[in-house]
Amino acid sequence: MQKYGKPSAPLLSHKSHFFKENEALLQRQRALAALYAEQPGRLNCKACDGPISEVSFSKLGVDYLVCPRCGHLNGAHEDSDAFCSELYVEGGGAAYARDYSSADREAYRKRTDDIYVPKARFLVDALAAKGEDPTALSYADFGAGSGYFVSALRATGLTDILGFEVSQTQAALANEMAGEAIVRTHALGDTVSLAGKVDTKVVSLIGVLEHLQQPRELLAALKGNAAVSYLYISVPLFSPSVFIETAFPDVMQRHLSGGHTHLYSESSLDWTCREFGMSRVAEWWFGGDVMDLYRSILVRLSASEKTAGAAGLWTDMMKPAIDTMQEALDRKHLSSEVHMLLQFERGS
């Protein structure tokens, strides 16, 4: 089962601050990049653990290396405890949560419906196409954040769902919005042990693998957990957005920045599936690459009085074409994101 493309209008609506607060967001990213560049060097690929040494390019003062074995894009430094604590844990993860939370119930519901319910429906449809009864299965969402995906799963009619999160701030928001405890908190260092013992049929990692210090350990734990049959992932990809960001260093870097210190490729995902005994059941390729191009040029045009008049003309020209242009990239598997439903293949 394969699906391509996704309308950009809902995301443009929810990410309007990317346009309005460019300078403030960029300053935060520069500070995180500087902190990341102070961490110990990364010697092995985050995806396949093979040696990496040759720098391919630099962005915001950070070097990046393409793994010669699996094609994964790696930042040149480790996601150290200090770096991850600054991103996800300090102050309950309040700074990180600002990027992923909504201010009130209506905004929370709209974000859930616009962005996360389509992800949940794709999972439900893929499981049904595989011959499963989605309502009869149990689910665990790791890195549940503010509970958007858990809420989306509930909105599709599923009931047996657990959410796990390290940020107390985000978990509290999730539970407040749901009116009940749908997300549990745990220590950052307990993620792998939880994966090894969680008793659910389906585990989801929506925008999570790229944030983990040891993603391979988590995957090994899930592989060793006989209760888990399916893994549903969403990961950012090494895509045209990376080159757009590199060409526009004065525009907020949505994709390869902050907690995204490395990016998957289709080849590194293939390696991951082979190593951890998973087959690709369903895939949804869609991205924000063309939207990033549109935003980058619009921000630069708006920054100067001499070119500000062109900003509206650029919007009128490009906005109607974003989805068609993006789908062309998606169908070539060149999108900035992919959702995959994977099945563990264990010997009987």
Instruction: Compute the distance between CA of residue 244 and CA of residue 293 in angstroms, rounded to an integer.
Output: 6
Tokens of 114: 């616009």
Which pLDDT does position 92 carry in this prediction? 39
Which pLDDT does position 91 carry in this prediction? 47
Name the residue among 215, 205, 199 with its Cα closest to residue 275. 215
Q: Residue 16's CB: how many other CB atoms inside 10 A? A: 10
The DSSP code for 42 is: P
The DSSP code for 161 is: E
- The residue type at 72: H
Using CA atoms, how far residue 307 sits from 297, 312, 313, 314, in Å, is 11, 10, 11, 11
- Phi, psi at residue 62, to the nearest 5°? -115, 130
Can you say how many angstroms the Cα of residue 183 is from the centroid of all Cα atoms in its chain? 19
Contact 337, 235 (CB under 8 A): yes
Under-50 pLDDT residues of the chain = 91-93, 97, 100
The DSSP code for 40 is: P
Domain 2-344 sits in CATH 3.40.50.150: yes
Classified as helix, coil or strand, 282 is strand
* Gap between the terminal Cα atoms of the chain: 25
Q: Which residues of 304-317 are buried (b: 16+ CB within 10 A; e: fewer)?
A: eeeeeeebeebeee
**pTM metric for this prediction:** 0.89
- Which residues, other chains included, contact 201 with Cβ-Cβ below 8 Å and sequence gap of 6+? 137, 138, 139, 227, 228, 229, 230
On the CB side of 251, how many CA atoms lie within 13 Å of its CA?
A: 25
Contact 64, 75 (CB under 8 A): yes
Tokens of 296: 């980058």
